[in-house]
Structure 1
Amino acid sequence: MKKSFGFRSKNGVSPFGSSINPVRDSGHGINFQPGYRIRDKDLRKIHEAAIVGNVAKVQHVLLFGKNGLNDREKMNRTALHLACANGHSVVVTLLLERKCLLNLCDDENRTALMKAIECQEEECATLLLEHGANPNVMDVCENTALQYAVFCQNISLTAKLPFCDANTEAMNKDDLTPLLLVICERRGQIVEVLVKKKANINAVDKMKRTALMLAVKYESTNVVRLLLQQGADIFSQDVFGWTAEEYAVISGFNIFHQLISEYKERRSKSSPDNSNPVDESSEEDSSRR
């Protein structure tokens, strides 16, 4: 149940107000543009063939040296970029067999791997990873392949990328790690995958907000539960001095405050610092007798 508390921040501003929101209401540092805008006049022969998945023509162009394997068109896209964006795995396989460069970037500093993930072409993405594509290259917004995978809600690639040395703590220009990004985007299932991959649940964004604070802000009850089960820090403060518990109070959702209060109480009871000093003194006296 939601209840209004009329709570304001220590600086007279609610932490849920737009004035302290460090990221845009949508996107969170992801410039999401699946696919590519194509102008035929900007393309070379190899690019034209790659876009439509014409393997024979790609082979012909390479055989007669009309274009090179890694030639770029006007927007710095290679045949590999274009084949991946359009899901032509057979062309991708051919290019990989010919030892094309895997990590070249287009004008947005996106690799072919990023485009494959963004366009939900998982087979192409998997081929690239199997051939050693670098998952930690950053685009112009400083997102890596893992940020693309979580943003696109691709559970299998999110689980696979850490095994390919993807950095689970890479921060984009909004200081959002993949875990923080996915919480902002309300992708609960992906949060579970990242937590299982040992993502840092106490990472903070530009405003020093933890995953728990963001889960409260974006009203993700299951994520709040999960983070508390994993031992999330409830005492950390954002740039305005707010804790997760204060976020819970001001959210107006009783369930968040209840969950954090119960967690706090359990921790207090289990802490060694809370043992009764009188009892300890009595035990010590008894041992001396």
Structure 2
Amino acid sequence: MKKIFGFGKKKKGLPSPSKSASLPVGSGGYGLRERDLGKLHRAAATGDLGKLQQLLRKQDSNQLDKENRTPLHLACANGHLDIVSYLIENKCKLNLCDNDSRSPLMKAVQCQQEKCATLLLEHGADPNVVDVNCNTALHFAACIPNISLAIELLEHDADIDAQNKDGHTPLTLAITENHQGMVEFLLQKGADVHAVDKSKRTPLMVAASGGELSLIKILLEHGADLSHKDVSGCTAEDYAHLGGYSGLGKQLSEYARWKTVEKPSPGNKKGMSVFSSPDRFGDLGYALGAPATDKEAGIDSLLFLTGSEKFQ
């Protein structure tokens, strides 16, 4: 997806950022050459427990290599649980960071070494350490995506709304990567649907810019605000248009109108949402189930539940 990070079209006053430098990408594994590693780090990276035990009789378990990696970093990145366990038993420091300010826990998450990550968390590793781009371990889990790792992190007090240097939360990054399951999970766990980045863009704007209908529905079901404006005064509707999804932009506009209009009725003193009046759909000139006409296929019509205010 990633439409939010580079628009093809510009609107006067609208920030047009390049792809976010703070987005955690890549497999996360260290590109290792044996000749660049000392004996202790080599043993940790290759999973040679016997050699590691021998070396630790005289060497420090927190020894740093030229990239400021500890043996624990390398063991976690490569999933050597027995090495990780032994280093922890020998009181190694859990939160030392490498040259990218990433802790062993972050490397375990980034490389999807779940058992290593769980063991670190159980022994007190900090899930809220931030790297050079202010990403936390949960940002990495959201981007992969890996819900089981996200569960472990949240159970050990990871900040669900932590912001990286661009102001992106794990929820925003999950939307950027179009990981619907992770988006639903984070929202169910209480992630802030109204979180804004450095340019005051919301998760809904990110989804709208990429034409991600399923994500838009989920966000609106969780109360996303269509009227919110970014630093340039643009709404989610504007982001849909700028992303090339004019049909979606029109649908968002209609949805916003329907949400704000109430129709009094004898049995409803507070008024009834226009969602309860199917006839109004025709009045608004909107054809439910019409084929997509946007620049990319798959943008189907938004379907409304009669008598409710959410998509299905």
TM-score range, shorter chain: 0.7 to 0.9
**Aligned equivalents of 1:258, 1:220: Cα separation in 2:** 13
Letter in 1 for 2:186: L
Q: Which residue of 1 aligns with 2:245?
A: 252
Retained in 2: the 8 A contact 1:135–1:145?
Answer: yes
TM superposition shift of 1:206: 2.1
**Does the Cα contact within 8 Å between 2:210 and 2:240 map onto a contact in 1?**
no
RMSD over aligned Cα atoms: 2.6
- Asked whether the 8 Å contact 1:22–1:206 carries over to 2, the reply is no
Residues 104, 269 of structure 1: CA spacing in aligned structure 2 closer, same or farther, 3 A cutoff? same
| CA distance, structure 1, for counterparts of residue 153 and residue 96 of structure 2 | 19
Matches within 5 A, 1:90-169: 90-169=82-161
Residue 215 of structure 1 aligns to a residue whose secondary structure is: helix
Preserved CA contact (<8 Å) 1:228 1:263: no
Task: Report the alpha carbon displacement of residue 44 of structure 1 after superposing the two structures with TM.
Answer: 2.6
Q: Calculate the TM-score normalised by the size of structure 2.
A: 0.76
Aligned-pair identity (%) = 43
1:239 matched to 2:231? The reply is yes
Query: 1:267 offset after TM fit, Å?
Result: 4.7
Q: 2:38 — aligned with what? A: 44
Q: Considering Cα pairs closer than 8 Å and 6+ residues apart, tell me whether 1 or 2 has the greater RCO.
A: 1
The one-letter code matched in structure 2 to 1:153 is P
Q: 1:209 aligns with which of 201, 205, 223?
A: 201
Inter-partner Cα distance in structure 2 for 1:270 and 1:76: 65
Say if 2:208 and 2:237, in contact at 8 Å, map to a contact too.
no
SS at match of 2:262: helix
How many matched pairs? Answer: 260
Partner of 1:24: 19
SS at match of 1:95: helix
Equivalent residues of 2:77, 2:104 under 8 A apart: yes
Letter in 2 for 1:257: K
What whole-Å deviation, never above 9, does each CA across 1:51-91 have from its counterpart, x for those lacking one?
111111111112x31x1111111111111000011110111
Aligned to 1:57: 51
- Of 74, 78, 82 in structure 2, the residue corresponding to residue 82 of structure 1 is 74
Report the Cα offset of residue 138 of structure 1. Answer: 0.8
Q: Which moved more, 1:238-247 or 1:188-197?
A: 238-247
Alpha-carbon contact 1:28-1:181 (below 8 Å) kept: no
- TM-score normalized by the length of structure 1: 0.81
| Residues 159 and 197 in structure 1, CA contact (< 8 A), matched pair in contact too | no
How far is 1:23 from its partner?
A: 4.3
Q: CA deviation at 1:256?
A: 5.2
Q: Would you tell me which structure has more helix in proportion to its own residues?
A: 1
- Who is 2:29 aligned against? 35
3-state DSSP of counterpart to 1:199: coil
1:269 aligns to what? 262
Offset, 1:177: 0.8
In structure 2, relative to structure 1, the CA distance for the partners of 1:58 and 1:199 (3 Å cut) is same
Where 2:83 maps in the other structure, the secondary structure is helix
Q: Distance in 1 between matches of 2:269 and 2:253?
A: 20
- In 1, are the aligned partners of 2:201 and 2:230 still within 8 Å (CA)? yes
Residue 185 of structure 1 deviates from its aligned partner by 1.6
Specify every segment of 5 or more residues in structure 1 that has no aligned partner in the other structure, as ranges: 1-6, 277-289
Q: CA deviation at 1:168?
A: 1.3
Deviation at 1:180, TM superposition (A): 1.0
